[in-house]
Chains A and B, each alone.
Chain A
Amino acid sequence: MLQLNDVYKTFNIGTINEKHALCGLNLHLNPGDFTTVIGGNGAGKSTMLNAISGVWPIDSGSIIINGTDVTALPEYKRAGYLGRVFQDPMLGTAAQMEIQENLALALRRGKKRTLRWGISNEEREKYHELLKTLDLGLEDRLTTKVGLLSGGQRQALTLLMATLTKPDLLLLDEHTAALDPKTAAKVLEISDRIIAEEKLTALMVTHNMRDAIAHGNRLIMLKDGRIILDIAGEEKKHLTVEDLLAKFASVAGEDLDNDRMLLG
């Protein structure tokens, strides 16, 4: 479903801030893979998702989504393949527009915008039903401006928007990191449910080791812009935090020193 072939990306080339963000990244996702991504600060987790989304062009390598080489496509042209949820709840929705308007924008992801009316009555009913499944009381607030919602509600809505038109690949970029623990758990639960129901291929970046272990069928760990650990199948099912720490130490030749990851 997704192939990253030898992807390189360096920021601020030739300056004192030069940063080799991705250094020969290779990843192959099978259809239906729900892969969690962990790694310390600056390991390249978000950079990898941004490379896939086309926020900026990569330096070398290729990116193939569902058989299509998207390496040269700009961000908005790749959107047809991708559903995205960002870390910042403000980024996924248009605050001054209504809930239903946001959903209507998302329903047309990857399609040409025409002069047809932006939202139809059948759509409204569909949105009502879908919002009900979130169990956040949003179904009766279709015309509420999104800016009035809480971070958790906005994140749940963004998740719904990202999957409204089934994406080839769902990218979750630490989408619960800005939420309080209870809301984060709820949003994670919704993510799990939607991914399972729609049989989505997904990449979920997280700072939280426990979440990375508890969710998905595959786990990869990034360090210095490369994948250093790739655990799937039965091994992933029975993985514990201690296993993961031990594996990291043996692969990286050093102890994991990121408090946020350990405590999570």
Chain B
Amino acid sequence: MLNIILGAIALGSLWAVMTMGVYITFRLLDIADLSVEGTLVTGAAVGAVCITGGMNPWVGTLLALLVGLICGAVTGLLHTKLKIPALLAGILTMIALYSVNLRIMGRANIALLNTPSVFTPLEKLPFMPWLAEQGIMTKNVAILICGVLICLVVSAVLYWFFGTELGSAIRATGNNPQMVRAQGVNTDTMILLGLMLSNGLVAMSGALIAQNQSYSDVQMGTGAIVIGLASVIIGEVLFGTKSFKRTLLSLSLGAITYRVIIALVLKAGMPANDLKLFTAITVAICLALPQIKAWWNKLKGGRK
């Protein structure tokens, strides 16, 4: 049981990077960006191809991030320059990436067995043999340490970036684009930058997840946006959004909580095939909460 929870937390810390990406588009830019479903796989594919090709796994992960930035730029340009609605622009990129991902991998999946990952060096930490004696899976501990460190670094970078003049302008664009233009900022550029950053993080997350599960698969992105949204909402509701620092932390904790919940319901006997239905229903309920609250208050008698 401990190992299951530990594994879930470790996996959650890797998905947390994607959650932060989803947060940038969903909350800061006020766009539901579906390209995420494609870029997650693109990141995994790039990472897998690089690592099986003998590259350093960190280099592969960073290359995934770079490719993700480009994918985000595609959605951004479709939306801002060609005036395609954001939702549709995301769907177009997502569909296009399906083919691109197959091209990158050359087949539907790549196994990462007996290849180094960003986690392997950590498995050689001095206390690992002791943990193994206690019956704890050292691989999970290594992933957890690495995941938490990555989350902290990414959170710190995002905290800095969204505090800068440029980052503030991006945040304001999601709030009130008309006001931002009146302040002399090109809102198209801000949306483009936000989408790039978001998809970069998602792709990086994809590369990390592929290394964790030891394979990259063209289907692994299905439902990623919903998982991202679930994590964002769980994080916001359970851990608060009082300040931006707090929100960033909540996102990681939300992603981890989501994974723990999933691990627990699977352990409790829910068939794995029902997972996506379960997640979708959870997200639908969370998104509907304000409306449900309004109905509830109306039923209770007029308090609006």
Contacts and interface: CB of A to CB of B under 8 A. Distances in A.
A119 B180 CA distance: 16
A114 B164 contact: yes
Task: Provide the main secondary structure of the chain A interface.
Answer: loop
Nearest to A95: B175
Contacts of A110: 183-184
Nearest to A143: B243
Interface in A104-141: 104-106, 108-111, 113-119
Contacts of A109: 182-184
B179 A91 contact: yes
B164 A105 contact: no
B140 to A, nearest CB: 37
B115 interface: no
A75 interface: yes
Interface stretch (A38-46, A76-84, A213-221): A76-84
Nearest to B186: A76
B213 interface: no
Contacts of A53: 182
Contacts of B166: 113-115
Interface string A62-105: 00000000000011110110101010001111111100011011
B56 interface: no
Given A91-B176, A93-B176, A113 B181 contact: no
A96 B30 CA distance: 12
B167 to A, nearest CB: 7
B163 A118 contact: yes
B185 interface: yes
Nearest to B162: A118
Interface residues of B, number: 22
B163 A117 contact: yes
Which of A93, A105, A110, A116 gathers the greatest number of chain B CB atoms within 10 Å? Answer: A105
B181 A79 contact: yes
B183 A105 contact: yes
A102 B182 CA distance: 12
B168 A101 contact: yes
Contacts of A116: 164-165
Interface residues of A, number: 35
B169 A105 contact: yes
A103 to B, nearest CB: 11
Contacts of B183: 79, 105-106, 108-110, 161
A77 B186 CA distance: 8
B175 A76 contact: no
Contacts of A117: 163-165
Nearest to B30: A96
Contacts of A114: 164-166
A155 to B, nearest CB: 13
Contact of A118 (B167, B176, B178, B187): B167
A73 to B, nearest CB: 11
Contact of B180 (A80, A90, A104, A105): A105
Contacts of B168: 97, 101, 104-105, 113, 118-119
Nearest to B188: A76
A74 B186 CA distance: 9
A77 B184 contact: yes
Given A105-B168, A105-B172, A113-B169, A93 B182 contact: no
A115 B165 contact: yes
Given A115-B165, A115-B166, A117-B163, A97 B171 contact: yes
B59 to A, nearest CB: 25
Contact of A80 (B167, B184, B186, B187): B184
Contacts of B180: 94, 105
A75 B176 contact: no
B179 A93 contact: yes
A123 to B, nearest CB: 11
Contacts of A118: 163-165, 167-168
A115 B178 contact: no
Contacts of B185: 76, 79, 105, 113
A108 B171 CA distance: 15
A113 B179 contact: no
11 contacts: A91-B179, A94-B176, A96-B175, A97-B172, A104-B165, A105-B168, A109-B182, A109-B184, A111-B184, A116-B165, A117-B164
Interface of A: 53, 74-77, 79-80, 82, 84, 86, 90-97, 101-102, 104-106, 108-111, 113-119, 161
Given A105-B180, A115-B165, 4 more contacts: A79-B184, A95-B175, A105-B172, A117-B165
The 8 A-B pairs of least Cβ separation, nearest first, read A79-B184, A94-B175, A118-B168, A110-B184, A113-B165, A94-B172, A113-B166, A76-B181
